[in-house]
Amino acid sequence: MAASAIKAFVFDWAGTMIDFGCCAPVVALQGAFAELGLTLSEAEARADMGMAKRAHITAILARDPMKSAFVAANGREPGETDIDDLFHRIEPRMIAAAAQYTTLIEGAATLVALLRSRGVRIGSGTGYSRSMMGAILTEAAGQGYAPECVVCAGETAEGRPSPLMTWKALVELGIWPARACVKVDDAIVGITEGKEAGTWTIGVAASGNGVGLGLADFTALDLKTRHQRVEKAATELLAAGADYVVASVADIQGLLPELESRISRGILPGQSPGQLRL
């Protein structure tokens, strides 16, 4: 089989390759805020998903309703010390929650095996810290997924939506040009990251933060509701600039011939309108 024109894929983790619905961060964030007597809604927790967790906490505290709730409870606005306190509270919760949500999303291992058979290098990036990834890396490897590099939150000067994590992954892989590489993510900040890095971007809608349901709850939806929720999430990823949006990584295999053709013909990421492939 001929080598692919695609040089590398850089995959996100939660909501993309593991943890259908991207549930672990919500559980951990809600628990950490509850320790301070603050109720964090699921919508608030998901609004900035994909960011490094300290930046995620900062964003939650910076706007209402959480900002007003914090002021009402403490008589002052949140500061750096409060952000540090919450981050220290969330880290052990994230480690515990992440360890419970390690199941690979269907089709992930099959896709990676196919890509590797075509000479495509496999990198990854995450808004989780290295300590949060411990159990995930072991469990994912046991299920057949072990990327060549893992770039974690805090390992670059800035996290998403900056391109630095994707660039670091490509540097570690020794791969260029970025225009022959693909970033896959379920979060808007991850799509922005890929666009800023100069890669092709693929958004995954059904399995990710936009729908925000675990696999059992997702499959329990009636077909009309399921379609509506996936379409809404997909539209948001498309609006963020994704070149393609699919339901899950299982659907990426069907895009490969088209992607390879576009790269071979010198077409650049973002040159054409994004496409929904649901």
Report phi then psi at 71, rounded to 5.
-60, -40
Quick one: pLDDT at residue 53? 86
76-111 burial code (b ≥16 CB/10 A, e <16): eebeeebbebbbebbbebbbebbeebbebbebbbeb
Q: Residues 62-90: what's their mean pLDDT?
A: 94
Residues labelled as active-site residues:
12, 53
Judge whether residue 246 has pLDDT over 90: yes
CB 90 within 8 A of CB 165: no
What distance in Å separates the CA atoms of residue 214 and residue 101, rounded to the nearest whole number?
10
Q: 8-23+102-277: what CATH class?
A: alpha beta
pLDDT band at 166 (very low <50, low <70, confident <90, very high): very high
Question: For every residue of the chain, which 3-state class applies, written as one string?
Answer: CCCCCCCEEEECCECCCECCCCCHHHHHHHHHHHHCCCCCCHHHHHCCCCCCHHHHHHHHHCCCCHHHHHHHHHCCCCCHHHHHHHHHHHHHHHHHHHHHCCCECCCHHHHHHHHHHCCCEEEEECCCCCHHHHHHHHHHHHCCCCCCEEECCCCCCCCCCCCHHHHHHHHHHCCCCHHHEEEEECCHHHHHHHHHHCCEEEEECCCCCCCCCCHHHHHHCCHHHHHHHHHHHHHHHHHCCCCEEECCHHHCHHHHHHHHHHHHCCCCCCCCCCEEEC
CATH 1.10.150.240 fits 24-100, yes or no: yes
Quick one: pLDDT at residue 1? 65
- Where do the domains of the chain lie? 8-23+102-277, 24-100
Judge whether residue 277 has pLDDT over 90: yes
Quick one: pLDDT at residue 89? 93
Ranges 78-92, 103-117, 169-183: which has the least confidence: 78-92
Judge whether residue 243 has pLDDT over 90: yes
Judge whether residue 120 has pLDDT over 70: yes
CB 21 within 8 A of CB 217: yes
Which residue in the block uniquely carries the two structure tokens 């059992």? Answer: 216
Quick one: pLDDT at residue 50? 84
CA geometry: angle at 65 spanning 63 and 68, to 5°? 85
Report phi then psi at 103, rounded to 5.
-65, 130
Q: Output the six-digit token pair for 53.
A: 């967790």
- N-terminal to C-terminal alpha carbon distance within the chain: 28
Q: Convert the pLDDT of each residue in 11-67 to its tens digit.
A: 999 999 999 999 999 999 999 999 999 999 999 999 888 888 889 999 999 999 999
Q: Convert the pLDDT of each residue in 121-135 to its tens digit.
A: 999 999 999 999 999
Quick one: pLDDT at residue 48? 87
Mean per-residue pLDDT of the chain = 95
Q: Residues 175-190: what's their mean pLDDT?
A: 97
